[in-house]
């Protein structure tokens, strides 16, 4: 089954929101992934982000480590080198930078030491990367609000349902990843830029470069390639939308296969519920729990607590050493 490409202009300008919503709903039910085009995010801004990201990753290790993640403390921001991030306990063949919503030192959550809240660590080189990241995050966050209007309509809810209940103050996290060339492991098995996983929140909006590597697990159990589509973002739903719909919209496992020949970059923005949101099912409750077939054998429906608590339980496994220092 192919991953659908959905033009979302009719949702953004209000000319045909229901038709776009129906396409989004079908994609969420079928495989949890879809491309969006005609999304309104400035192409020049994207190209600038791509070029500046490449310049940063081309720097020497010492220079990149000037914004290493431990310096970000509880805010959980900054750079990590190749193999420092884990998926299912195995090192990922990638390096990257973590960003989030910029909060001042006097913000109540920052003063309280709330993890994942605070200031970003912006690199000194290239100097324009920080402002470009901020502009890009703002533009794609606006797109996230619009796409969630489409998701709401696809579920038969009011268009502003998510904004009024879960995303007026969304948890927004942004990553820039670089996957260096990597062949088979020493034992002959594959190496993964990111191992099989699902995302944690509501919606991921991913910019890819022109290289492939993203793979999506189909409902039938095989793996689909999600190759780059010019002018598009790849969107996928996360655990909280799975939980909210009672499994009607599944959070789909995916992974990244690095190339043996070239670097690959990607830019995922995670548009998630408010930190203190208690995400509960709407409609019929839990329709089906797929914990027995999930990559981690965990249930997204049995969890009790806020989204912030769910998120902390997940990210602490990604950087266990940082978790011991911060959490």
**Domain range summary for the chain, segments of one domain joined by +:** 5-326
Asked if 238 and 206 count as a contact pair (C-beta separation under 8 A), the reply is: no
Nearby residues of 305 by Cβ (< 8 Å), 6 or more positions away: 278
Tokens of 67: 């914004």
- How many CB atoms within 10 Å of residue 250? 23
pLDDT in the model for residue 298: 83
**Domain 5-326 CATH assignment equals 2.60.120.330:** yes
pTM of the model: 0.96
**Cα–Cα distance, 172 to 155 (Å, whole number):** 23
Q: Terminus-to-terminus CA distance in the chain, angstroms?
A: 41
**pLDDT tens digit at each of 327 positions of the chain:** 589 999 999 999 999 999 999 999 999 999 899 999 999 999 999 999 999 999 999 999 999 999 999 999 999 999 999 999 988 788 999 999 999 999 999 999 999 999 999 999 999 999 999 999 999 999 999 999 999 999 999 999 999 999 999 999 999 999 999 999 998 887 878 889 999 999 999 999 999 999 989 999 988 888 999 999 999 999 999 999 999 999 999 999 999 999 999 999 999 999 999 999 999 999 766 666 778 877 677 889 888 999 999 999 898 888 887 777 776
Degrees to nearest 5, angle at CA 234 with 229 and 239: 160
Residue 113: both structure tokens together: 């030491």
Compute CA distances 318 → 31, 193, 315, whole Å. 25, 14, 5
Q: Tell me if 77 sits within 8 A of 118, measured CB to CB.
A: yes
* pLDDT computed for residue 176 by the predictor: 98
Q: How far is CA 180 from CA 223, 224, 257, in A?
A: 22, 22, 11
Q: Are strands 5-7 and 33-37 parallel, antiparallel or unpaired?
A: parallel
Tell me what pLDDT residue 196 has.
93
CA 213 – CA 235 distance, rounded (Å):
15
């Amino acid at each position: 089954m192919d991953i659908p490409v959905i033009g979302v202009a009719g949702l953004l300008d209000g000319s045909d929101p229901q038709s776009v919503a129906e396409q989004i709903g079908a994609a969420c039910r079928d495989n949890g992934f879809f491309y969006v085009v005609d999304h309104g995010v400035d192409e020049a801004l994207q190209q600038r982000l791509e070029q500046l990201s490449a310049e940063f990753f081309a720097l020497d290790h010492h220079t990149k480590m000037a914004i290493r993640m431990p310096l970000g403390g509880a805010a959980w921001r900054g750079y990590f080198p190749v193999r420092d991030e884990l998926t299912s306990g195995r090192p990922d063949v990638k390096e990257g930078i973590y960003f989030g919503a910029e909060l001042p030192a006097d913000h109540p959550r920052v003063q309280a030491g709330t993890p994942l809240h605070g200031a970003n660590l912006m690199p000194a080189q290239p100097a324009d990367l920080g402002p470009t990241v901020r502009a890009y995050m703002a533009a794609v966050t606006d797109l996230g609000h619009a796409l969630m209007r489409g998701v709401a309509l696809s579920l038969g809810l009011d268009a502003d349902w998510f904004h009024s209940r879960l995303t007026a103050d969304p948890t927004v996290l942004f990553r820039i990843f670089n996957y260096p060339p990597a062949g088979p492991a020493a034992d002959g098995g594959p190496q993964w830029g990111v191992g099989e996983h699902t995302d944690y929140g509501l919606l991921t909006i991913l910019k890819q470069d022109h290289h492939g590597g993203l793979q999506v697990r189909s409902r039938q159990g095989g793996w689909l390639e999600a190759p780059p589509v010019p002018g598009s973002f790849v969107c996928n739903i996360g655990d909280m939308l799975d939980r909210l719909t009672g499994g009607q919209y599944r959070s789909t496992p995916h992974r990244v296969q690095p190339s043996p020949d070239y670097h690959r970059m990607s830019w995922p923005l995670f548009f998630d519920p408010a930190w203190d949101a208690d995400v509960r099912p709407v409609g019929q409750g839990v329709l089906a729990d797929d914990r027995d077939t999930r990559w981690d054998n965990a249930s997204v429906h049995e969890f009790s607590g806020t989204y912030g608590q769910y998120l902390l339980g997940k990210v602490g496994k990604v950087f266990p050493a940082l978790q011991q220092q911060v959490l």
